[in-house]
Structure 1
Amino acid sequence: MTATIAGSLVVGGAPASAAAAPDGLTQETAAASCWEVKQNDPTAPDGVYWLVTPRLVAPQQFYCDQTTGGGGWVLIGRGREGWKEGYNGVGTPEQVRDTPAGTAAFAPAQLSSKTIDGLLDGGRVDALQEGVRVRRALDTAGSAWQEVRFSFANRDRWVWTMGGGHVLTSFSFKNPGERSKTTGSGGTSAVFGVDTGTKRVRFEEGDLPYRFRNGWSFGAQVSGNEDPSSYLWAPAGTRGKARPFAQVFLQPKLMTRDLDYGTIGSQGAPAITQSAIPNSNAMTTTWGVAGLANGLSGEANTEVASFGEAGGNVFVGGNFATVQQSEAGAGQVAQPYLAAFALGTGAWVSSFRPVLNGQVKAIAGLPDGRVAIGGQFSTVNGVPQAAIAFLDPATGQLSGPQVVAEHRAAGAVPYVRDFDVQGDYLYVAGSFTHLRAASSTVSASAWDGGRIDLTTGRPDTAWNANLNGTSMSVDASAAGDRAYFAGYFTMQGAITTTSAAALQTTAGAAGVTPHWTPTFSRPMYDAAGNPTGWVYQNAVTETGGRLWLGGSQHSLFSYDRTDFRLISGNVTLKGGDFQTIAQNADSTLIAAGCHCGDWVYEDAYTNPETPTTASEIDDMSLIGVWDAVTGRHVYEFAPDLQAREGHGAWASFFDSTGVLWAGGDITRSVRAGGSRQWSGGFVRFAPRDSVAPAVPTGLTVTPAGGATTLTWNRISDSSSVTYEVLRGNRVIASTTAASYTAPASSEAATYYVRARDAAGNRSATTAGVAA
C-alpha cells in the first residue's frame, strides 16, 4: 500500500527504522563515524565503510583504521612529498580511501576541508580527544613506522595550513620498540618535537633544493633519497629533512543516536544551494598575453596591471608584448600594452588594435560606451596623447573629447595609475600635477589626483586632490559624497595624510571629518612621531559601510565608514603586499590580490611576527575573496596559482557576468580535475553554480517481498545529477537511476527524493510518501 502523507503530518527527528545498530557496510546502515562502527562491532576490520553525519548530508565511503589504539580512526590524507595546504585538498576521496598505503599512495591525496568538517559534524578540531594522528614511515623500505599525535590550542574548523604555524598544546612521538611515548608541549603545526632526528615534525616546503614540496618532514638528521620506491624522499645533494610517506587520521567519536538531522514536513525539505562565490578552479585558458613590451621586469612592469569592460569585451592592460593561445606561442600576434578579450569565451578580439608606446595601468568603461585608458604612454596610434586616452571600444581609435595628464616638475613624466567612474565624473589617480583638455590651453591643478567632468569632457578646475606623492588607487563612494585615494603620499594640502586620504566630492576637495588615520602593520616613526617606512598603500575601495585598504607589509585592513574605526585585519605570511582590490556588482564580495603564496592570517594586524592571535590561518595563492558585509575571509575560494617572478596579482576585476579576472605576472593555474594549465598574464574564475536542480516528480513507494521500491521521473538535466533518497529525516542512498530498492523498514517510514548536481546544489525534495 502507498499513500501521500497528509499536509498536517510532520515527521520527527527520530530514526524511522528499527534496524540494527549502524555497521557502515551499506548506505542504508551508514554509521556516524569509524568509532561507532567499532563500538557496534568490536571485530570490525580495517577497511572502507559508509559514514554519514548531518554535515556530510549523504553517506560517503571512507577508510577506517580499526586496529590502532582500539580503532575508530578515519583516514583524511596520505602521501609522501607534495602535500598541499588548500581548502579543497588534493586528488579525490576515492584515492584516499581506496589506496591508503603502498608506493601507489606516494602522490598525496587529501580530503577537502569541507568533507573533513562533515566527518566532525562541524565539531571543533581542538576538541578531539586524541588530537591529530600522523603515521610516518621511519625507513626507506617502509618496514618501520612511527606514531605522532598533536593537539591544537585553538582550531575550530579543519585546515591543511600546517605550515602556517597553528599553536599546539601538546604532542607525542612513539617509535617501534619503545615502551612509552615521548611527550612535549608547545610548538606549532609547522615545527614541533624534541630533537633534530625522528622526533620532530617540520611541515614546510623547503627551499629550491627541496623543490618547494611540502611534507611531514623529519629533522635535520634524517635523510632520504629520490628512489621512486623509497618511503623517505629527499632530493639528491640534500641532507636531512626527509619527507616520509605519511598518513593522517582523526578519531571523531560520533554516535548516530546523538546527531540531530532536524525535521522534514510532509511537503518536503527546501532546496540547498551554495553561495555564488568564484569557483576555485580556473576557467580554461583560451588566450593570454606574454612578453615584456618595454623590456623591463619587476613588480612595476608585470604583464597585466589593469582590466576594464565596455561593449561586450574585457580590456586587459599592462606591459605585455603579445597575445597568444598557448605557452609555446600558438596564434601569437604582436599587440603590446592593450588588448581586448570577449566576455564568456575569453577569445582575443582581433579587431581592436590600438598602438601605444607605453604601459597601460588603468582602464574604465565610460557611461557613453567609450573606454578610458591611463598609464605611461605618450602616444596613441601615432598621435601625442599623454597618460590618458578615450578610445572607441570596437576599433581602438581615439574617440570624442580628449584629456592629457601633465607633470610640470623638471624631468618628470606623467603617469596614471587608476580610474574610477562615479556619477558624471572620472576620478584619476597617479603621478601628475595637471589635467588638461587636449583642445585647450586651460588646465586644472590636480596634484596626484583629480577628476574629469564626463558631461563636458574637461578636467574639473575646482577639484584638486592636492597630494604630495603618487596615488596608486582611487575609489569614489557609491553614495557620491567622497573619493578615497591610496598611495605613497604623506600630505593632503597642509594636512598630514599618510598613504590614504578621504576627500569630499564637493568643490575644493576638502578632507572628510573625522580625519582618517590608517593603521599600518609594520610602521616606523620619524622624530615628529609620524609613521614612515613600510606604510605605503596600493589599493582602496568602499563597500557599503566598510572601507578597505591594502598595501605594505602584507596588510588588508577594513574601517568603519562613519568614524574610520579599524574593524578587521588580515596579514599574509609568507608573502607580500596587497596590490589590488575589486568589488563585485552588488558589493557583497571583494577580491584582493598580492604577491603572497602561502597563508592569510585573519584578525591579525602586525608583521613580521607570526600572528599567534589570528583567529584563522588559511591558504592564499596570489588572490583571495572576502565577504564585504562581514569582513570575513571567504576561505572556500582557494585557487592554486603560480607567477613568473612572484610579483603576483596587480589587477582584479569582476566583469558583468560575475567572472573574476586576476592579472599580474601569472603563468599557471589549476582548473577542474586538478589539471594545471598555462595562464598568460591573467586567469579567470567563474562564479560557482548556485542554482538548484529541478525537483523530481512522480514519486511512488511500493513495499514488496521484504524490500521497498521507489520510482520517480527523471528531471530534464538528469545527465548531470545524482538523486538522493531520504527515509525519515536522513539520506539513505544516492543513485543516478530513477529508481531505488531499499531494505524494508520494520516501522512505518516516509520517503522523499531530491536531485543533487555536480556542484553540490540540492533541489527541494518531493512531498513525503509513506509506506
Structure 2
Amino acid sequence: MRKTLISGLIAALAVTPVPAALADTAPAAGEVATVTADALPTWQTDGVVLTIEIVNGVTYVGGNFDNVRPPGVPKGGAGEVPRVGLAAFDTATGDLLPWNPVAFSPTFTDDQAQNECDKIATDTYRCDAVWEIKASPDGSKIYVAGDFNKIDSSRRDRMAAFDTATGALDPDFKPVFNNRVRAIAVSDTTVYAGGHFTTVSGETRTRLAAFDAATAALTSWAPTADKRVNAMALTPAGNRLIVGGDFDRINGVRQHGLSAVNVSDGSKGTFNSNDIPANSSTSRSWVTDIVSDGTRMYASANGEGTFDGRLAFNPDNGSRIWINNCLGATQAISVMGGVLYSGSHAHRCSMQSYYGGDGFPETKPHRRYLAEPAGTAQGAKQTILHWFPNSAPGTTYPWVQGPWAMANDGTYLWAGGDFTEVNDVAQQGLTRWTFHETRPDVGGPIQAGFGAPTLQANGGGKVTVRWGATWDLDNRKVRYEVLRNDGQVACTAEAFSVFWNLPNLSCQDTGLTPGASHTYRVRAIDPYNNRVSSPTSASVTVL
C-alpha cells in the first residue's frame, strides 16, 4: 500500500489573507506575542476582586471577599484561610503570602446607603471593602481605598497606606472621607484620590483630593468633578492627572467621562477628545480604567446603548489615537509587551478588523478577555488579536459579568473579578497568564465540537476526507493530520481559524487498495505540538 501526502484544500486561506498585526503566542516575524491563554495555578477568593496592584514581586488584591483558598479547591474546602478585603500573593507562583490586614466595611439596609454603596436588592445595599490599590513609584508603600472604615482595629475612613517591606499599616496616613474612594494615583511627592466623596477630614473636596506623600497632610489642590470619579492616572511627564468616571464637568467646564487636571494648580487641562458620550435619555457611557505604557494612555468604558470599548489617546492633549468599538462593557485594562489586554463581557466585535474582515458577530458565551495591539497608528482601524481565554461569570455583579481588575509586571498578567471558572475549569475570583517563554503553551486546540470526518470514495484508490475545523484559544493557525485506521498519516492540511469562522477542510488519501475498508480520524495540532483528536469516522470501501 502506498501513502501520499497531499496538502489540504483550504478555501479559507484563499480568501482571508493574514495581516501583520495579528499576534498570538507563536507570532510571525515582526509581530508582538501575546501571553498564552493557559491559566496558571493561582490561589482563589470566595468573593469579588475589584483591584490588583503588582509591586516588588508581590500581587496585592482587594475587593469584597472573606477567605482565600488554593487552586483546585472548592469554596469552603481544604486549605481555605481568612482574608477579608485584602490579600497578597507571590506574582510568579500564585501562592498566598502572610500579609493579612482586615478591611472592615459598613453595611446598610436603608436609604442612607444610596449615596455610599451599591443597591443589590430592595432596600439592601452592599459596601465593597476595597476598590483600589496603588503603589508609590519607589514601591515602598501601597495605598488602598474603598468603602472600609477600619483596618484591623484601627480607624481608617476609606483610605489607608501600608509599608511594603514590613506590611505594617502607616500610622500617619489616615484621612477621613465622607464617601467612597474609588481611584488613586501616586507621584514621588503627592497622593491623589478620586471617588464619590465631597469632604476630606472636614475640608470641602469635591470628588478629587491630594495629599503630601511625605507628611500625609491634605494639600490645597482642589479641582472638582460634578459626579463620581472611577479612575485616574498620571501622564508620563507627570504634569497632568487624567481623570475618568461618570462626571459631566471638571471645574465647572463641560467634558463628560474623561478629562485632564493640571497637577500644579488643579486647573482643568487641555483635553481634545470627546469619545465618552454624554448621558442622554437613551444612552450613557462612563470610564472604568486608565493606564499608560509610558508614551500613550488608554481608557476603558462601560456603556448603556453607546460606547463601552477601549481607546488610546495622547497624554499631552487628549487627542484620540485609536478606538475599539466592541460591544460589551470593559471594566479593566492592562498594557504589556505592546499589547493592550482587557477584561469585559464583549459580545459583538463585528465592527473590528480581523484577518482583513470583521471581528466576531453577536455571540454567546460572551468573551471575557480580549487583546489588541497597543501601538496601532493614529487613525488606523483597530484590530483584535488571537487571544481568547474565557471565564464563567459569578453572581455578585450579574450586570458586569466577570472581570473587574487587571495588572502585570511585564511577565505575568493577572486578572480578578466576579467569576467562578476560567477556560471551563473551576477557579474563583483570580487568574493569571504568562508568555510561552516563561511557561510553555500547553493548551491544545478546542476539543468540543470537533466532529468525526466524513468520507467519499472517489475511485482509482482515492478517498476524500472532509471535516470541520476546530480552533485554538491563543494560536490562529492549526495543523491537521488525517490518520488512517492503520495508524498512518494519510494526508495533512492547515488553516487559520477563529471561533466565529471555522472553515470546512478536506484532503485526499491516495494509492489505496480497491475493496479495502478504512476509517479515519483527524488530529488538530497547534504550533507547540499540543493536540486533540476527532472521533473516528464511519467506514468507507475503497473503489
In the aligned structure 1, how far is the partner of 2:155 from the partner of 2:367? 40
In the aligned structure 2, how far is the partner of 1:327 from the partner of 1:494? 50
Q: 1:446 aligns with which of 205, 209, 213?
A: 205
1:184-208 deviations in whole A, cap 9, x for unaligned?
xxxxxxxxxxxxxxxxxxxxxxxxx
| 8 Å contact kept, 1:623–1:662 | no
Sort the Cα spacing of 1:346 and 1:379 in 2 relative to 1 into closer, same or farther, 3 A: same
Q: 2:45 aligns with which of 255, 280, 289?
A: 289
In the aligned structure 2, how far is the partner of 1:690 from the partner of 1:399? 36
Q: 2:347 aligns with which of 589, 598, 603?
A: 598
Q: 1:630 aligns with which of 376, 388, 391?
A: 376
| 8 Å contact kept, 1:430–1:448 | yes
Q: CA RMSD of the aligned region, Å?
A: 3.7
The equivalent residue for 2:416 is 663
In the aligned structure 2, how far is the partner of 1:650 from the partner of 1:471? 20
Letter in structure 1 aligned against 2:391: L
Question: Aligned with 2:164: secondary structure?
Answer: coil
| 8 Å contact kept, 2:49–2:405 | no
Matched, 1:678 2:426: yes
1:717-770 deviations in whole A, cap 9, x for unaligned?
xxxxxxxxxxxxxxxx9xxxxxxxxxxxxxxxxxxxxxx86599xxxxxxxxxx
Q: 1:124 aligns with which of 9, 12, 15?
A: 15
Displacement of 1:335 in angstroms is 1.6
The equivalent residue for 1:354 is 101
In the aligned structure 2, how far is the partner of 1:601 from the partner of 1:452? 45
1:690-711 deviations in whole A, cap 9, x for unaligned?
899xxxxxxxxxxxxxxxxxxx
Question: Aligned with 1:535: secondary structure?
Answer: strand
Question: Aligned with 2:311: secondary structure?
Answer: strand
Matched, 1:479 2:242: no
Matched, 1:429 2:194: yes
| 8 Å contact kept, 2:310–2:330 | no
Q: What are the residue-to-residue correspondences of 1:460-539 with 2, within 5 Å?
A: 460-461=219-220, 463-507=221-265, 509-520=266-277, 524=280, 533-539=283-289
| 8 Å contact kept, 1:649–1:662 | no
The equivalent residue for 2:125 is none
Displacement of 1:524 in angstroms is 2.5
The equivalent residue for 2:49 is 304
Displacement of 1:341 in angstroms is 1.1
| 8 Å contact kept, 2:352–2:384 | no
In the aligned structure 2, how far is the partner of 1:691 from the partner of 1:533? 43
Letter in structure 1 aligned against 2:184: F
Displacement of 1:625 in angstroms is 1.9
Letter in structure 2 aligned against 1:364: K
The equivalent residue for 1:753 is none
The equivalent residue for 2:360 is 617
Letter in structure 2 aligned against 1:581: I
In the aligned structure 2, how far is the partner of 1:458 from the partner of 1:570? 40
Displacement of 1:669 in angstroms is 0.8
Question: Aligned with 1:555: secondary structure?
Answer: coil
Question: Aligned with 2:270: secondary structure?
Answer: coil
Q: What are the residue-to-residue correspondences of 1:315-354 with 2, within 5 Å?
A: 315-325=60-70, 326-329=73-76, 330-349=78-97, 351-354=98-101
Larger radius of gyration: 1
Letter in structure 1 aligned against 2:244: A
| 8 Å contact kept, 1:275–1:688 | no
Q: 2:155 aligns with which of 384, 394, 405?
A: 384
Letter in structure 2 aligned against 1:321: D
Sort the Cα spacing of 1:471 and 1:492 in 2 relative to 1 into closer, same or farther, 3 A: same
The equivalent residue for 2:184 is 419
Question: Aligned with 2:39: secondary structure?
Answer: coil
Sort the Cα spacing of 1:418 and 1:513 in 2 relative to 1 into closer, same or farther, 3 A: closer
Question: Aligned with 2:427: secondary structure?
Answer: strand
Displacement of 1:467 in angstroms is 0.6
Count of residue pairs the alignment pairs up: 399
| 8 Å contact kept, 2:251–2:267 | no
Displacement of 1:348 in angstroms is 1.2
| 8 Å contact kept, 2:244–2:290 | yes
Letter in structure 1 aligned against 2:214: T
Displacement of 1:396 in angstroms is 4.3
Sort the Cα spacing of 1:470 and 1:519 in 2 relative to 1 into closer, same or farther, 3 A: closer
Sort the Cα spacing of 1:30 and 1:453 in 2 relative to 1 into closer, same or farther, 3 A: farther
| 8 Å contact kept, 1:591–1:652 | no
In the aligned structure 1, how far is the partner of 2:238 from the partner of 2:372? 24
In the aligned structure 1, how far is the partner of 2:139 from the partner of 2:37? 35
| 8 Å contact kept, 1:570–1:601 | no
Matched, 1:365 2:143: no
Letter in structure 2 aligned against 1:624: L
In the aligned structure 1, how far is the partner of 2:19 from the partner of 2:32? 21
Letter in structure 2 aligned against 1:289: T
Question: Aligned with 2:195: secondary structure?
Answer: strand
The equivalent residue for 2:332 is 580
In the aligned structure 1, how far is the partner of 2:312 from the partner of 2:392? 31
In the aligned structure 2, how far is the partner of 1:466 from the partner of 1:649? 32
User: Structure 2 unaligned runs (5+)?
Assistant: 23-27, 106-128, 441-491, 493-526, 532-543
Displacement of 1:434 in angstroms is 3.7
The equivalent residue for 2:500 is none
Displacement of 1:322 in angstroms is 0.9
Displacement of 1:482 in angstroms is 1.4
Sort the Cα spacing of 1:650 and 1:483 in 2 relative to 1 into closer, same or farther, 3 A: farther
TM-score by length of 1: 0.47
The equivalent residue for 1:651 is 404
Sort the Cα spacing of 1:515 and 1:597 in 2 relative to 1 into closer, same or farther, 3 A: closer
| 8 Å contact kept, 2:45–2:65 | yes
In the aligned structure 2, how far is the partner of 1:321 from the partner of 1:497? 39
Displacement of 1:539 in angstroms is 2.1
| 8 Å contact kept, 1:279–1:686 | yes
Identity of aligned residues (%): 19
Displacement of 1:636 in angstroms is 1.4
Question: Aligned with 1:599: secondary structure?
Answer: coil
The equivalent residue for 1:569 is 323
Question: Aligned with 2:387: secondary structure?
Answer: coil
Q: What are the residue-to-residue correspondences of 1:81-230 with 2, within 5 Å?
A: 121=13, 123-125=14-16
Displacement of 1:375 in angstroms is 0.7
Sort the Cα spacing of 1:623 and 1:757 in 2 relative to 1 into closer, same or farther, 3 A: closer
Displacement of 1:343 in angstroms is 1.7
1:249-292 deviations in whole A, cap 9, x for unaligned?
xxxxxxxxxxxxxxxxxxxxxx969733221121134x20004x
Question: Aligned with 1:552: secondary structure?
Answer: strand
Q: Which structure: greater helix fraction? A: 1
The equivalent residue for 2:114 is none
Sort the Cα spacing of 1:274 and 1:518 in 2 relative to 1 into closer, same or farther, 3 A: closer
TM-score by length of 2: 0.65
Displacement of 1:511 in angstroms is 1.5
In the aligned structure 1, how far is the partner of 2:199 from the partner of 2:203? 5
In the aligned structure 1, how far is the partner of 2:130 from the partner of 2:276? 31
1:551-572 deviations in whole A, cap 9, x for unaligned?
2135224254255444433334
Displacement of 1:657 in angstroms is 4.8
